[in-house]
Amino acid sequence: MYNKLTLDDLDFAGNRVLVRVDFNVPLDEHGRVREFTRIKASLPTIHNIIDYDSPVILMSHFGRPEGKRVEKYSLKQIVPEVERLLGKDIQFAPDCIGPEVEAMTRALKPGDVLLLENVRFHPGESKNDPEFAAELAKMGDVYVNDAFGAAHRKQASIHAITKYFPSNAAAGRLMMRELRFLGRALINPKRPFIGVVGGAKISSKIETIDRLLPRVDKLLIGGGLAYTFTKAKGESIGDSLFEPDKLDKAKEILSRPDADKIILPIDSVAATDLDYGSERRTYLTREIPDGWRGLDIGREARAKYEKEIKAAKTVFWNGPMGYFEREPYASGTRAIARAMINLSSRGRIAIVGGGDTMAALHKFHLSGSMTHISTGGGSLLEFMEGKELPGVEALSDREKV
């Protein structure tokens, strides 16, 4: 599918290797990393470069600081976890560009690792600004993109920067693993092909459903997204989470000829508030009364979704079924996870993507038995649609080098 340079094609020869990773990981209320999949997935590339006795310079985005320095989005707070997982000390730069940072990169010894500060602290990142990309490019002699989760974005550290590495911009181990596996599994999936979509990010997930619906045989919906669709049908959702400005889009999707593929949860676990110890009741999702908020799919919905997954040959899951962070509302997400593991154990394809989904699997200690856990969210969805990923297309072609 992609005939791009890989690590195996590069001659490191002690050069500084600038690696775009995806360390955009969720933190808990104490500022500690609560899900490590993306960091762990980057380790093979980093170790490989260290083995070549080359210095490694890591750069990543983190959160949405909107082009400004916002301390809660500083990558400095994840340094202890990166060191623990990598098994060695790393250095941290106070910025990602500038003479001071460049001097730090040139002072690195073979095998040293330096993490740059959040590239999104600069507005040039999201604008794919070539001048900002040129400043980033000064930090390395060779460029490697191992951030599959961000490969769908045309941003400076992913796209524009490759112009400054015309013959030595390569894909890392994680990037190639994702492309090869997903290319086999999702471009022409074994059917029945089921999509499971949930989560609270209603704005982005509505568009996800719009894109997924033509490709899947059935689409199971949970999380806050389910209540937006239920509301769009004119039914009662009480005080459940929904987004008013997405109702028209939801109605449009429900009016499509293929809308019969959509399965909404027949029942929901609801509460009056999120406090511990609050009363919980199960209602039909279309009959949640005022004052009650749906927080998880109910028992009948879980049984229905488990049955659909069991009958599938390929399942793609993105987004939890409810407020899984609180145990009373974790049952739906846990049930989907177990159904996916059972599917994988029977030799069928169970693919999971998205940061919140990975966080749920980590919480339940159920991540080890999936067919594939992708580090991509938006990039995974666009790949499924057959779209070109800008961060991959921009890398050096093998035949031209």
Give exposure, 167-188, as e/b (b: 16+ Cβ within 10 Å): ebbbbbbbbbbbbeebeebbee
Q: Is 201 a catalytic residue?
A: yes
Catalytic-labelled residue, pool 16, 153, 173, 201: 201
Closest by CA to 333, choosing from 342, 343, 351, 321, is 321
Q: Is 302 a catalytic residue?
A: no
Degrees (nearest 5) of the Cα angle 188, 193, 197?
A: 115
Q: Are 192 and 313 in contact (CB under 8 A)?
A: yes
The structure tokens 């471009």 sit at 187
Six-digit token string for 205: 């997930």
Backbone angles phi, psi at 217, to 5 degrees: -90, -35
Which residue type occupies 233? Answer: K
Instruction: Report, in angstroms and rounded to the nearest whole number, the Rg of the chain calculated over CA atoms.
Output: 22
Q: How far are the Cα atoms of 94, 268, 295 from residue 227, in angstroms, in the given order? A: 43, 10, 10
Q: Is 38 a catalytic residue?
A: yes
Catalytic-labelled residue, pool 38, 173, 249, 261: 38
Closest by CA to 2, choosing from 215, 171, 187, is 171
Q: Is 378 a catalytic residue?
A: yes
Closest by CA to 143, choosing from 7, 335, 242, is 7
Catalytic-labelled residue, pool 355, 376, 377, 391: 355
Residue 180 DSSP one-character state: H
Six-digit token string for 65: 């600081």
Catalytic-labelled residue, pool 149, 319, 378, 391: 378
Backbone angles phi, psi at 8, to 5 degrees: -70, -15
Q: Which positions are catalytic?
A: 38, 201, 355, 378
